[in-house]
Structure 1
Amino acid sequence: MTDTTNWPLPYRVNPAYARKVAYFSMEFAIDQALKIYSGGLGFLAGSHMRSAYQLRQNVIGVGILWKYGYYDQARNADQTLRVDFTKKYYPFLTDPGITVTVQVNGHDVKVKALCLPAQTFGSAPLYLLTTDIPENDHLARTITHCLYDVEPSARIAQSIVLGLGGAKVVEAMGGAELYHMNEAHALPLAFHLMDRLGEASEVRKRIVFTTHTPEKAGNEEHETSFLKRMGFFGALNHEQEVNLTGIHEHLFSHTLAALRVSHACNGVSRLHGAVANQMWEGNDGICSIEAITNSQNALFWQDKKLRQALDRNDPKRLITRKKEMKDDLFRIVADQTGKLFNRDVLTIVWARRFAHYKRATLLLHDFHRFLNLIERTDRPVQIIWAGKPFPFDHDAISVFNGLVRLSRKKRNIAVLTGYEIELSRQLKQGADVWLNTPVRPREASGTSGMTAAMNGAVNFSINDGWIPEFAKDGENSFIIPVTEPKLSEHEQNEADYQNLMSIFEDRIIPLYYDEPQRWNEIAMASMRDVTPAFDSDRMAREYYEKLYSAKLG
């Protein structure tokens, strides 16, 4: 079933990367024009596909063509968040003529593949699956409408389309030597391989897995009986399913199953690798979990003029270019909010998903002290928040809207909507300080800080995710000290807040205004240190060297 020839690629494959790999991900952030992603998982997958193209690797991506994307972030009349679902059209996709059939809840569903050619955006080819075709009934057509649909049966149907449908599409193109699951969403591909190969050991030889999060929401569990009814296990009987996954219980853990159907797995930072091993230790039959730290594609994300100034060791040009990029960002601020920010004022940006553990409002923990920070006139600050709450997480939306209401009262606070690739890029290019405040150790990687550093923003962060591998406090970043992990949530928030504000008041703000040359040296050190170690070319190479060459055992 496996053809060892290359995929239909527009380049001669580098012999160092000859193994034929199909990379499955629920989301890919490749370009602003292709809205099939929600956040960090997609940004990681997009950078991987760009580096696979640049390194001439024998890789294709397999994903889903989301008709409505994640959602469009708009505003109500009072500036609060409005969730819009708008149909998307992508005439730049091509039709390779591949349609396969899967079974969902006892019904045949046709799955059509469309291709994003490698040359369109400079990525490995993507094969994007859709059920929104005339051959299907209305319900089947909606399966690929919304990324991370809130309805459990729709979410499982999406996994069936990605995993089982994607595996059949790959077979229609000659098959793969290796299947890489980016999170456990594509797990049904393992059941399809078991049906074809008949031996669990043969399945494991062909699958590797990347686990991304210690968060419960990222490690799904469902009733096994519900999954059976939906067709999640494909053509397998109960004995075959248990033989492959080792799960006898009524509650089925997708991540645990993925660790058992794979012969190798990676966490997405050294710290996350250790956390993931602790999470899953004691479970029989799981594969080893190594650490391959997530990275981002510098060629795509880094401002070229800023990089040229760094390479020429020209701090004056770098300072000038940074202010030009701040002006670009501030035009967006003015357009969305009517506020005129100043290029000479210290600009702090917090921008990412509005997940609870990321603590978007940690800065407001002591509101009186926060007001003292933003109302100072001698050394002023400007603060920008941006990010997409999950569209059905009303608590997260409430946090976002609370910040919007606060921003109406303060001329130096802005909350931006439309947090997608282009706004993300401009926030990183325009930020002086990139603020990251997760509860440690719940941030598995946190790659936004990498692309911020590439663009001359100084990371100010909890020492979590990738940061321990990069940060030199006071030299290329500023680090909030690690607090006692056994503290209650309130106590940890209090301790982290006190440290955060002390560093802002005593170190960051005085340094920015009183020692601008030293500040620029830190920004330049950050730019030098973030590449090549956190460029996705390194990560894509490590996938081949460590994950794709790992032995079954």
Structure 2
Amino acid sequence: MTQYSALLPERLSRLEELAYNLWFSWNEEALELFRSIHPVKWETVYHSPVRMLLETSPEDWARLASDEAFIDLYEKAIASWDAYTGRKAWFQETYPQHIGRHIAYFSAEFGFHESLPIYSGGLGVLAGDHCKSASDLGLPLVAVGLLYKRGYFNQKIDHQGTQISEQVTYDFNKLAVRPAIRNNEEVHVFVELPGRAVRLKVWEVRVGNVPVYLLDADVDGNSYDDRSLTAQLYGGNQDTRIQQEIILGMGGILALRALELYPYVYHINEGHAAFLSLERIREHIRGGLPFSAALEMVRASTIFTTHTPVPAGHDAFPVGMFEHYLGELLYSLNADRQAIVELGLDRSKNVFNMTYLAMNTATMRNGVSELHGAVSRDMFKGFHGNLNASEIPIGHVTNGVHLRTWMAREWKELLDRYLPENWRTHQSGREQWAALADAPEETLWDIRQRLKERLILYAKTNVEEQRRRNGQPDDSGSVFLRPDVLTIGFARRFATYKRATLIFRDQERLDRLVNDPERPVQFIFAGKAHPADIPGQKLLRDIYQLSQTDRFRGKIVLLENYDMNMARYLVQGVDVWLNNPKRPYEASGTSGEKAALNGVLNFSVLDGWWQEGYDGENGWSIDADNRADEETQEKENQESLYSVLEKKIVPLYYNREEQAAVPVQWVKRMVHSIETLAPQYNTDRMVQDYTNLYYTKIMDRSLHFSTDNYAAATRMADYKRFIRTKWWAVKIVGVEDPYPPVSFAESLDKRLLKTIGVIVHLGEIWYKDVAVEALYWEEQANGAWVPVVVPFSLFGEAVSPGTYKFEGRLPAHLRHGPHFQLRVRPISPDFAHDFEMNEVTML
């Protein structure tokens, strides 16, 4: 019997099942069902079905049980839920051999819905969207995180524009979270911290078919300080942070084991969770593997996703702090103590770097956009030894957003009329989106205007509440945002590199834009600055104070307490989404992707996802010469921002060709934006990419490395140990390069090939355990230079013991040294990629 069994009429008994599954948040029937219980209360409980159950009286339930219209909504929602849980989804159809092989997804935060506030921003919302699409696609994914009783913080803005970080304590009994149960008992685990064992309660959140397990230290038996360890997201000092990350990574593995879950894949979503690898290494050592084989087993089954090109975003702790807080693990594995420290050691700074730990314990690594992958390869070039940045084993999967969560209901209903019936489950199929062009322009524009009006009403309420709380006079009669005015939105974390105030650098020019009598522009800003980020809070205060001046009041608006609920209003309601970070510091950015789903046009620096998504016609770019110095780029970005607004965006929005009722060319660009961006920048495509490129390959490697009593893991560890101890002897001792070519004419013919010979001393290493290659750069038609690798093959018998000759064919006009290099690297059929080892000899 549950807490609602006696409360709910039998006819409505499955309401509790819907309320405790966040599937409701992306299903229109379920949302409408809960809203219809009491529309006003639905807003006051902040769209929480659990609170609706708690705060609805028995009399109201009895009334609703006899209301046939409500029963009809209830039955439709239940039918939709049963169809969802009972269907055969993409993963089952595509990878039947991997059914039941779990993927563990670890993240420090999850943004599922505003009623479960355990997220701060983009990283958490992305993790939430990842889980939602994993459920939609049928992946056997389980997620692990922390349950923060005080969440992040509620933001208030005072009459001077100062951010006030308001702490809130949440009652878990009113959230869509319940204790995890195994064998009819609540699940608890213990994590060792210096001098004590901290008890953790495991909670469960259901996200469709995906269980999310959240760890909570606020339980009886723990000290006051320990109970506070999971109190707040990104709160406290470095001591708090490292202990939180131990709880997340190591405690998360212990929680999975207590739940009898043994995944085949472990996904470290940003470095916060990287300690999970240490717990897994210890687990394998206790099972009988030596450290080296345990490490190979962990590496073979782990993927790491890095999310930030900003060095400060990579957690690092003094080595002494690491050794203090991980003392119990280091003591239990004393023979391998130094090897464990080495996994995260950044010698240049003498710190233990969580990103280094993640990269050293994960064979598969990726950034979150094509550009971010390239930036990450360059950023961690030193970590990978003597390699060209292009060959560093860090790939990319460009982020997306969960379409069903972020696309407005009006747009989904329109697409239901014009796109194929199965478009929601096959949303990544680009060809079907072309049918949107058949929709009448007036209908498309009407949706855009309705969503804008809804946003303006929401913004007005938000600003009025700010003024009321700050004791300011009622401003409701003043000029405020208008639905007939071009509206630009900017909402994100207030970090300095995101340059929230770039549009304010020339206030006279901005004044002309905002106050143009015939073609005005209005701006809505929102976002939080971390409580410790003083420069970020200053940006916020500057925007607020400017918004209160006579010429901008009611036309530039700053909303407070940006969260998922506000984000939906913004990305659905504005006309243009503005994003102007310093390139290349926006790893991906997903807010613009959410906007694109709703016919909002992006106006952004070509950074992150927008560098891939922009095609010249589906939005606009803020340009600069990326090769110039930072100051020059800043000036060029500023000029581009204003000039594109003045010459392209504003004229297009207000252009009414032949007195048309709607701006036809603007609507056409909206349609093109949706057609080109919606099928690509969604998390269904993203999770499918992770599955195809990484998850299923890791499953195969996990099986391969663990069979026959971990034979492949042991073989790999032994092989690497041998190579590392013998590589010192590897030398390129001779090069046979017939240069110059026979004639000047031949030197101009780049199709002419010549044979290059190279003599390599390998010592005790077998010649079949190395690859000998030439590397040169070739110019493409677009002016870009790309690396070309030419494999060499063994020529004849050994020149002498341990010395071999290899030959390869290269363009005759190239000369060794100035034009190409030769290299030797170890190879193995068990390697996940060419450069699994950093040992590379070049000449």
SS at match of 1:34: coil
Alpha-carbon shift at residue 308 of structure 1 (Å): 3.5
Letter of the structure 2 residue corresponding to residue 510 of structure 1: P
Question: What does 1:141-156 correspond to in 2, within 5 Å?
Answer: 141-156=227-242
* Structure 1 residue aligned with 2:368: 268
SS at match of 2:124: helix
1:502 equivalenced with 2:502 (yes/no): no
Alpha-carbon shift at residue 77 of structure 1 (Å): 4.7
Question: What does 1:81-160 correspond to in 2, within 5 Å?
Answer: 81-91=163-173, 92-96=176-180, 97-118=186-207, 122=208, 124-160=210-246
* Structure 2 residue aligned with 1:180: 267
Alignment CA distance shift 1:348-1:66 (3 Å):
same
How many angstroms apart in 2 are the aligned matches of 1:525 and 1:233?
Answer: 58
How many angstroms apart in 2 are the aligned matches of 1:241 and 1:342?
Answer: 60
The count of aligned residue pairs is: 540
Alpha-carbon shift at residue 243 of structure 1 (Å): 5.7
Contact 1:188 1:234 in 2 (8 A): no
1:484 equivalenced with 2:626 (yes/no): yes
Alpha-carbon shift at residue 30 of structure 1 (Å): 0.5
Alpha-carbon shift at residue 216 of structure 1 (Å): 1.7
Contact 1:30 1:123 in 2 (8 A): no
* Structure 2 residue aligned with 1:541: 688
Alpha-carbon shift at residue 233 of structure 1 (Å): 7.9
Alpha-carbon shift at residue 307 of structure 1 (Å): 3.4
* Structure 2 residue aligned with 1:4: none
1:463 equivalenced with 2:549 (yes/no): no
How many angstroms apart in 2 are the aligned matches of 1:123 and 1:387?
Answer: 32
* Structure 2 residue aligned with 1:3: none
1:53 equivalenced with 2:135 (yes/no): yes
Contact 1:188 1:233 in 2 (8 A): no
1:211 equivalenced with 2:337 (yes/no): no
Report the structure number with the largest CA radius of gyration.
2
How many angstroms apart in 2 are the aligned matches of 1:407 and 1:132?
Answer: 42
How many angstroms apart in 1 are the aligned matches of 2:492 and 2:596?
Answer: 15
Alpha-carbon shift at residue 112 of structure 1 (Å): 1.1
1:325 equivalenced with 2:451 (yes/no): yes
How many angstroms apart in 2 are the aligned matches of 1:413 and 1:420?
Answer: 20
Alpha-carbon shift at residue 530 of structure 1 (Å): 1.7
How many angstroms apart in 2 are the aligned matches of 1:106 and 1:538?
Answer: 46
How many angstroms apart in 1 are the aligned matches of 2:533 and 2:627?
Answer: 27
Deviations 1:306-361 (A, max 9, x none): 23335632321221111111111111221122463211100000110111110000
How many angstroms apart in 1 are the aligned matches of 2:627 and 2:125?
Answer: 29
TM-score (norm 1): 0.93
Letter of the structure 1 residue corresponding to residue 258 of structure 2: A
Question: What does 1:163-242 correspond to in 2, within 5 Å?
Answer: 163-174=249-260, 175-198=262-285, 199-231=294-326, 234-235=329-330, 236-237=333-334, 238-242=337-341
* Structure 2 residue aligned with 1:300: 405
105-114 or 163-172, which deviates more: 105-114
Letter of the structure 1 residue corresponding to residue 338 of structure 2: E
SS at match of 2:522: strand
Question: What does 1:292-441 correspond to in 2, within 5 Å?
Answer: 292-309=397-414, 312=418, 313-337=439-463, 338=476, 340-409=480-549, 410-441=553-584
Alignment CA distance shift 1:123-1:386 (3 Å):
farther
Alpha-carbon shift at residue 456 of structure 1 (Å): 1.2
Contact 1:309 1:315 in 2 (8 A): no
Alignment CA distance shift 1:374-1:318 (3 Å):
same
* Structure 1 residue aligned with 2:150: 68
How many angstroms apart in 2 are the aligned matches of 1:484 and 1:49?
Answer: 36
Alignment CA distance shift 1:232-1:81 (3 Å):
farther
Contact 1:105 1:229 in 2 (8 A): yes
* Structure 2 residue aligned with 1:33: 115
Alignment CA distance shift 1:37-1:485 (3 Å):
farther
Alpha-carbon shift at residue 432 of structure 1 (Å): 0.2
SS at match of 1:257: helix
SS at match of 2:689: helix
Contact 1:160 1:232 in 2 (8 A): no
Letter of the structure 1 residue corresponding to residue 677 of structure 2: V
How many angstroms apart in 2 are the aligned matches of 1:454 and 1:234?
Answer: 47
Alpha-carbon shift at residue 204 of structure 1 (Å): 0.8
How many angstroms apart in 1 are the aligned matches of 2:158 and 2:540?
Answer: 13
232-241 or 523-532, which deviates more: 232-241
Alignment CA distance shift 1:134-1:256 (3 Å):
same
How many angstroms apart in 1 are the aligned matches of 2:134 and 2:454?
Answer: 31
Contact 1:106 1:229 in 2 (8 A): no
Alpha-carbon shift at residue 464 of structure 1 (Å): 0.5
Computed over aligned residues only, the root mean square deviation of the Cα atoms, in angstroms, reads 2.0
Alignment CA distance shift 1:424-1:195 (3 Å):
same
Deviations 1:389-414 (A, max 9, x none): 11121111111011111111222110
SS at match of 1:478: strand
Contact 1:164 1:192 in 2 (8 A): yes
How many angstroms apart in 2 are the aligned matches of 1:77 and 1:514?
Answer: 39
SS at match of 1:168: helix
198-207 or 506-515, which deviates more: 198-207
Q: 1:288 aligns with which of 393, 414, 420?
A: 393
Alpha-carbon shift at residue 172 of structure 1 (Å): 1.5
Contact 1:184 1:254 in 2 (8 A): yes
Alignment CA distance shift 1:279-1:499 (3 Å):
same
User: Identity over the aligned pairs, expressed in percent?
Assistant: 34
Alpha-carbon shift at residue 158 of structure 1 (Å): 0.6
Q: 2:673 aligns with which of 526, 529, 536?
A: 526
How many angstroms apart in 1 are the aligned matches of 2:225 and 2:257?
Answer: 26
How many angstroms apart in 2 are the aligned matches of 1:388 and 1:79?
Answer: 12
Contact 2:104 2:267 in 1 (8 A): yes
How many angstroms apart in 1 are the aligned matches of 2:341 and 2:159?
Answer: 53
Deviations 1:26-57 (A, max 9, x none): 01110110101111101110110000111111
Contact 1:461 1:478 in 2 (8 A): yes
Alignment CA distance shift 1:10-1:103 (3 Å):
farther
Alpha-carbon shift at residue 244 of structure 1 (Å): 4.3
45-54 or 167-176, which deviates more: 167-176
Letter of the structure 2 residue corresponding to residue 95 of structure 1: P
* Structure 1 residue aligned with 2:813: none
> Which 5+ residue runs of structure 1 have no aligned equivalent?
1-8
459-468 or 235-244, which deviates more: 235-244
Letter of the structure 1 residue corresponding to residue 501 of structure 2: T
221-230 or 459-468, which deviates more: 221-230
Letter of the structure 2 residue corresponding to residue 241 of structure 1: I
How many angstroms apart in 2 are the aligned matches of 1:75 and 1:51?
Answer: 35
SS at match of 1:526: helix
Contact 2:315 2:354 in 1 (8 A): yes
> Which 5+ residue runs of structure 2 have no aligned equivalent?
1-83, 181-185, 286-293, 419-438, 464-475, 657-662, 702-831, 837-843
SS at match of 1:74: strand
